[in-house]
Every structure is written in C-alpha cells, then in structure tokens.
C-alpha cells in the first residue's frame, strides 16, 4: 500500500471499483443502509466509489487507508464539508475553510477547560436524578427507555451551557424536549427536508402532500439561538472567561450555529450508542450481571457515590460501552470529507470536490480485526488481566481534523448513564429484543428501531 500522497492528479488513473448504478440516480435505490456498505466492501474491497445522484462518494474501508489519507497531514487535503443551506452551513458540522477552523479550535479549547469538564459531570448527574425518578415509576412493564433518555441527552447541553440544569417543569425544558424530538425526526439526507430547509414556507404543504411529518428545523434553530444567546451573555463573565468563545459577540452567527451543532451532533448519537449497549446487555444476562457486580463493588467502595472518576476502576463496563459503540456504529460513515484539491488515493484519481467517507461500519465489522465481528463480546477489549486494551479498527467518532468534538462529553454520558441504570435496575429483554437481529434505521444517526425493555428494581 502506497504511503505517498501527492496533490497532483496522477497521469494514468485507474478506475475505482464500485456498484453499477442507474443513469441519473446512481446507486440511490440499491443502498439499504450500512449493511449495504459492508456488502460493497466485501465485494469491491477497501476502497470503492458509489454514485448517489450526481455525486460520487469514495469510501475508505480499512484502518490503514483511513489513517494514511484522512488523518495526519494528508487529512488536510480532505477538510471541507458539502455546502448546505444557510441555516446549517456556517457551524461546525457543515462549515468549511477558515471559519470552521476558528470555531472548532475555540470550541475544542472550551471543552478542555477544567471547570467546563466539572460542569459537564454536574449537568449529567442532575439529568440522572430526573431520569431515575421517571424510570422508578415505569418499572416492571415495557418501557421505551430511549424516550426518557432523549430528554436527558438533550438537556445536558443547556445544563452545561447555562451552568445549571433547567428546572424539571420549566418552559425551556419543554422547548428543548421539542427540539430534541425534531432533531430525532429529521433526516438531513431527505430531499423533502432539504427543500423545506431552503424554503421554510413549503414545509407544511410538503408534509401534507407526502403524508410525512417534516420536522421544523428552523423553529428548533430559533429556540436554540434564544437559549444560546443567554448562555453566551453569562459565559462571558463566568464559566468560560478564559476561553476564546467568551470573547465572541453573542450575535456572531457562526458561533451560534457551532453551538447549535452540539445539539445536532450530540444528542441522538449519544442516545443511540446508549441504547445499543443497553440492548446488548439485556440480551446477555450473564454479562449484565458481571457489569453490575463490577459497578456495585466500585460504588460501594466509594461511599455509594457513582462518579466519572471511577471509570478506570470499571474496565468491564468500559469494554461493554466500546462494544456497543462498535456494533451500533451510530454514525456508520464519517460525514463527507471533501477533497479541497485534485489529488489521488492509492493510484485512483480523486478530483477536487469528491466526497471521501471513512467507512466506520466496515471498519467496525472488519473480519480481519474481529472474530465473529457481529457478536457482542466486551471481553475482546480486555487483556488476560482484565484491563482495557485499545480497540482495533475502531473509529466511532470519525477521523482526522474533522473528528467529533463531543467525544469526551459522549464518553462521560455513556459511562454515567449506563452505570447508573445498571446500578438501579436489571434490564430484561422483550421478545422483540431477543430476535437474532433487531431492526435499525438511519436518519441523522443509526438507531435501533423500537428498543423496549423491562426494568426490575434492584434495591
């Protein structure tokens, strides 16, 4: 495999393999979700191209290729995102160029500030109190735990930004709940969503015409902007006084959009990863018991308090979360990393503007890295002495400079939610959950279709 990578088009390019598509639509109708990408990897190899409408997407499906071309200095050639409608184009997820670099740097720095990390845990612990109260009232019958956790994942973000949790019955909390439901329901890849993003007045007529509930992303954005302006006003004198974010004017549209992207990027992804982990644990009672014993032992040794600082004492739980993230592959591919120059990958010409995707699903199910890749086996991430070993072929948070900004926040939520739920309850599967493979769907993220379980109180 070539380790060299130039920015000029090679003289006699090879043709990239990939599925034959139909004229105009390409492979749009062949693609049935992440499993199709895995099947294409098996058929065409570690690099292939797919035509989707007028676009060409190039997938990199081995860790070698991803590391060589999308990380390190080569990754700088694939930094842009697709130009989206103005409502989402200026922030972190879909921003490009210098504006994106500046905002990403500012946010990454802010997220490292110690007081911010501490506030993060406070915000999560406050949400957990509400979660446990609600779940206590829903024990011994089927519960769609994702409906409860969606609100927790969404409200952690304003809790963090405002420095305190939104009161349980507050209007703001209800508004955030609505925003979270809107985000969960939006499919940014759907043509109807794209049209209604560009022409908001068409949203309702299109919803009626196609019998679809097209979420009002503009309204969500307005609600979030109002909350965020209040936060920036406070943050300037308080929480983030040392961070570059604090100096930005609160009317700064790029900054606002970047903060809104924390909701778009962070809520359903964390929720989905949590659901996958809980679902697999409910199907594997022995592993669930091992996890509970580990939690009980460590928490009891800590005076009954469950905190983020206990994470390193719970390798089995960590391994379960890693395995849930691996199998769930909640973002089955990275977002597009767009070539900013004409270049090449492995001798294949990659014209400027090509969408290059890290094939996360193919990496996570790579049979060269994992025996029985589709099985939930947390032990595969543990050494003989029961210590965590860095997982192979594992990139749930994407790659290179465009990697997720929320990894630490997601990690903290996944740890505290999973451990608290298992400390309080034993999770029993329903008949649907026991089926060999549960149905999933892909909108903003890859999610279990209808994960329900029964919670039995432990104490």
List of residues contacting ligand HEM (CB under 6 A): 92-93, 104, 261-262, 265-266, 269-270, 273, 330-331, 334-335, 358, 396-399, 402-406, 409-410
CA of residue 259 relative to chain centroid, distance = 15
Judged by beta carbon, residue 60 or residue 455, the one nearer ligand HEM is 60
Least distance from ligand HEM to the Cβ atom of residue 150, Å: 13
The answer to whether 73 touches 224, Cβ cutoff 8 Å, is no
Judged by beta carbon, residue 269 or residue 292, the one nearer ligand HEM is 269
The C-alpha angle with vertex 246 and arms to 240 and 247, in degrees rounded to 5, equals 150
Least distance from ligand HEM to the Cβ atom of residue 93, Å: 4
> Counting Cβ atoms within 10 Å, is residue 172 exposed (0-12), middle (13-18) or buried (19+)?
middle
d(CA 66, CA 69): 5
Least distance from ligand HEM to the Cβ atom of residue 396, Å: 4
Judged by beta carbon, residue 60 or residue 299, the one nearer ligand HEM is 60
d(CA 152, CA 130): 8
Judged by beta carbon, residue 176 or residue 330, the one nearer ligand HEM is 330
Note the residue count of the chain: 459
Judged by beta carbon, residue 259 or residue 427, the one nearer ligand HEM is 259
Judged by beta carbon, residue 6 or residue 82, the one nearer ligand HEM is 82
Least distance from ligand HEM to the Cβ atom of residue 381, Å: 16
Judged by beta carbon, residue 114 or residue 201, the one nearer ligand HEM is 114
Judged by beta carbon, residue 315 or residue 358, the one nearer ligand HEM is 358
- Confirm whether residue 404 is marked as ligand binding: yes
Helices 407-424 and 145-162 sit at what angle, rounded to 10 degrees?
130
User: CA nearest 291: which of 365, 392, 376, 364?
Assistant: 376
Least distance from ligand HEM to the Cβ atom of residue 242, Å: 20
Least distance from ligand HEM to the Cβ atom of residue 256, Å: 13
Buried b (16+ CB within 10 A) or exposed e, 74-103: bbebbbbbeebbebbbbbbbbbbeebbebb
Judged by beta carbon, residue 178 or residue 408, the one nearer ligand HEM is 408
d(CA 12, CA 8): 12
Find the Cα–Cα–Cα–Cα dihedral 320, 322, 323, 326, rounded to 10°.
Answer: 160
Least distance from ligand HEM to the Cβ atom of residue 156, Å: 8
Least distance from ligand HEM to the Cβ atom of residue 51, Å: 21
Least distance from ligand HEM to the Cβ atom of residue 110, Å: 11
Q: Could you tell me which residues come within 8 angstroms of residue 119 by beta carbon, excluding any fewer than 6 positions away?
A: 160, 163, 239
Q: How many CB atoms lie within 10 A of CB 266?
A: 21
Task: Name the binding residues for heme.
Answer: 404
In the annotated binding site, the residues are 404
């Amino acid at each position: 495999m070539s380790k060299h990578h130039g920015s000029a088009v090679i003289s006699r390019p090879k043709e990239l393999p990939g599925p034959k598509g139909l004229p105009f639509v390409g492979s749009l109708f062949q693609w049935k979700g992440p499993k199709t990408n895995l099947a294409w990897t098996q058929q065409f190899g570690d690099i292939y191209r797919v035509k989707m409408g007028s676009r060409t997407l190039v997938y990199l499906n081995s860790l070698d290729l991803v590391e060589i071309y999308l990380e390190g200095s080569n990754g700088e050639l694939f930094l842009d995102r697709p130009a989206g409608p103005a409502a989402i184009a200026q922030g972190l997820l879909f921003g490009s160029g210098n504006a994106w670099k500046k905002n990403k740097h500012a946010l990454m720095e802010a997220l490292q500030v110690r007081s911010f990390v501490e506030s993060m845990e406070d915000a999560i612990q406050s949400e957990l109190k509400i979660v446990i109260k609600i779940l206590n009232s829903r024990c011994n019958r089927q519960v769609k735990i994702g409906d409860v956790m969606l609100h927790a994942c969404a409200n952690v973000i304003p809790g963090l930004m405002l420095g305190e949790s939104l009161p349980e019955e507050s209007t703001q909390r209800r508004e955030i709940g609505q925003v979270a439901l809107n985000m969960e329901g939006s499919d940014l890849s759907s043509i109807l969503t794209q049209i209604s993003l560009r022409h908001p007045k068409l949203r309702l007529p299109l919803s009626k015409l196609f019998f679809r509930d097209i979420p009002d992303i503009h309204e969500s954005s307005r609600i979030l902007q109002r909350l965020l302006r209040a936060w920036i006003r406070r943050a300037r004198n308080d929480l983030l006084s040392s961070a570059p974010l604090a100096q930005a004017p609160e009317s700064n549209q790029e900054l606002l959009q970047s903060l809104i992207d924390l909701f778009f990027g962070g809520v359903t992804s964390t929720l989905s990863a949590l659901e996958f982990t809980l679902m697999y644990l409910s199907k594997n009672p022995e592993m669930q018991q091992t996890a509970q014993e580990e939690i009980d032992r460590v928490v009891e040794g800590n005076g009954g308090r469950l905190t983020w600082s206990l994470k390193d004492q719970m390798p089995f739980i960590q391994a379960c979360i890693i395995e849930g993230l691996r199998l769930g592959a909640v973002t089955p591919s990275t977002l597009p990393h767009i070539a900013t120059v004409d270049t090449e990958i492995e001798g294949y010409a990659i014209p400027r503007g090509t969408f290059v995707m890290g094939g996360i699903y193919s990496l996570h199910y790579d049979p060269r890295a994992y025996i029985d890749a589709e099985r939930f086996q947390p032990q595969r991430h543990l050494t003989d002495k029961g210590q965590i070993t860095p997982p192979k072929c594992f990139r749930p948070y994407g790659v290179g400079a465009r990697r997720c900004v929320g990894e630490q926040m997601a990690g903290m939520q996944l740890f505290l939610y999973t451990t608290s739920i298992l400390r309080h309850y034993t999770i029993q599967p329903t008949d649907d959950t026991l089926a060999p493979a549960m149905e999933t769907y892909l909108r903003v993220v890859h999610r279990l279709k209808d994960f329900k379980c029964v919670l039995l109180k432990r104490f």
